[in-house]
Each structure stands twice: as structure tokens, then as C-alpha cells.
Amino acid sequence: MQMEKLNSKAQIAGTTYEYLDRIGEPIPMKKMVWKRFWDIIFGLIGLIISIPFIFVFGIIIKLTSKGPIFFKQERVGYMGKNFDVIKLRSMRNDAEAKTGAVWAKKNDPRVTAVGRFMRKTRIDELPQFWDVLKGDMSMIGPRPERPELTEKFYKQWPEFPQRLRIIPGITGYAQIHGGYDLKPNEKCKLDNYYIEHYSLWQDCKIAFETFKIIFTGDGAR
């Protein structure tokens, strides 16, 4: 029933994505009650702490490149439900004007000078604490991908939509075990491993490893 509703929404929007029928059985929400509890606590703390950084880097972004401070983009969330992810803009304002949706790569020429620093330190991700508080994202989980890229990767790797069985996160198992340079199929395998072995203890270990990455800059792109 839930998948039928999601497909109906996709059709109303004018696009029917085949991956919506290939997600599989979700992690039951009742199993994630404590995960949601800690998301609210740390999401609120994270948002409060990040406000000064968002303010300072918002000014720097405005002074160094044309375009808005924030970058909003549609992503695919839990069981295929789309939502808007919010980030500090780290690319040129016209980054995809000619190419459309593309997979980000290492040393991406579209990234601005300040954007490279923000990506290295994950500062561009700070506004996503708001997505966590809304319930669209979790602190820990697979990074949310765009609908059109999810459909593209599904055509190549049929198991790719299975990473939608849990709420997407700001950081995740794939990020600490492979960084941002992972290919989509590699990312998919790690994300699905995380889902199949999900536990709060594993989330704690991922959070700890993420702090290490923030201070070393490993895995940024």
C-alpha cells in the first residue's frame, strides 16, 4: 500500500521511477525509535552550535561568488519519499546548467575555493541538522541521492534502491569506509551492509569515526 502511494505521487509529479518498486522491505520504524530520539537531541544541539559557522561562511560565500548562500536540492529519502536537502553552496551557481545531474568527483572543477574548504571540513553539511529535526534525515545513514541519479544507477545496479530501506543520514558507513570517492556500486554495497547489520552501537562507532574524518579531512570531495 505504501509503495502504491509513492508511485502515485511520482506519476502526479510527471515522472515514474522504476526504482520505487525495487526498494524492498524497510527497517521497521519501531526499531528506530531510539535512533529518532537521539536524532532530535543531537540534531538540535548540532543546529545551535552550527549557527555561528553558517552565518560566517554565508557571508564569505556571498562575498566570493555569485548566487545564493544556501543550496537546496531534491533527494530521495526513506522508502522513496522525496525531500529537499539543504546545504551551504559550495559550487558555482551554474554548476549544472549545461550538464544536468552528474555524480560529483574528486577535485571537481565546479567547486569554489571556499567550497573546497567547506567540503573538506564538512561545514557545507551543517544546515542539514534542520533536515534531521524535520525527520527527513538522520544523523547516521546512507547519504541521500537525487531521484534521476538513483534511477540511472538502478538501471546499472538493481540493488541500488535497497539503500532506501532506512532514513538517509548526514554521515554514514560508506563515508567512513570509503569516503566521497566511492563509485555508486561500491557505495551501494556499503550502505546495504550497514542496513542489514543496523544497530545503535554501530551508529555510535560511525559517529566517532566521522569526528576523526572532520579533523583529518579524509574522504572529502
Which residues, in sequence order, are CB contacts of 6 under 8 Å at separation 6+? 20, 79, 80, 81
Q: Which amino acid is at 49?
A: I
DSSP 197: T
Which residues, in sequence order, are CB contacts of 164 under 8 Å at separation 6+? 19, 23, 76, 77, 78, 79, 80, 142, 150
The pLDDT of residue 149: 93
Gap between the Cα atoms of 186 and 167, Å rounded? 19
Q: pTM value?
A: 0.80
Q: Is 201 left (phi over 0), alpha (psi -120 to 50) or beta?
A: alpha
Task: Find out whether 71 and 90 touch, Cβ atoms under 8 Å.
Answer: yes
The pLDDT of residue 1: 43
The pLDDT of residue 103: 53
Indicate the burial class of 75 (C-beta count within 10 angstroms; 0-12, 13-18, 19 or more): buried
- From first to last of its 221 residues, the chain has per-residue pLDDT tens of 444 444 444 443 456 799 999 999 998 888 889 999 999 999 999 999 999 999 999 999 999 988 899 989 999 999 999 999 999 998 876 655 455 555 555 556 788 888 888 888 889 999 999 999 999 999 999 999 999 999 999 999 999 999 999 999 999 999 888 766 788 999 999 999 999 999 999 999 999 988 887 776 555 44
Q: Record the cell numbers describing residue 103, joined without a space.
A: 555524480
Gap between the Cα atoms of 163 and 27, Å rounded? 11
Gap between the Cα atoms of 191 and 183, Å rounded? 12
Residue for grid cell 570509503: 178
